[in-house]
Amino acid sequence: MNLKNNFSTDIAKKKFGNKNNAYLFLFELKIKNYIDLPIKTITRGKNKGEKILDLNTNQIWAKIVNNYELYRFKKIIIRIFRKLYL
């Protein structure tokens, strides 16, 4: 079974659990320069200067489906879930 061909938005949502986990995964890939994503800097408020992904919810899930490679990103996924749940 080829995971890349069968990986869909529904499977991505089950694997990552929620949008926040997916966001953390994509941001980590952006930091490591594995993928290029649009970034914007917050210019107002208490989070001024913070960099965030400039993607809506559907775009986040689509980016994960298009760029998902289990064996390449396995360590990143494990590290994210260890930070969140340990």
Q: Give the global pTM.
A: 0.79
Please state the domain extents for the chain.
13-83
pLDDT in tens, 42-64: 999 999 999 888 999 999 999 99
In the predicted structure, residue 86 carries a pLDDT above the cut 70 = no
The C-alpha atoms of residue 4 and residue 70 are separated, in whole angstroms, by 9
Which of 59, 55, 24, 61 lies closest to 40, judged by CA? 55
Q: Per-residue confidence at 2, pLDDT binned at 50, 70, 90?
A: low
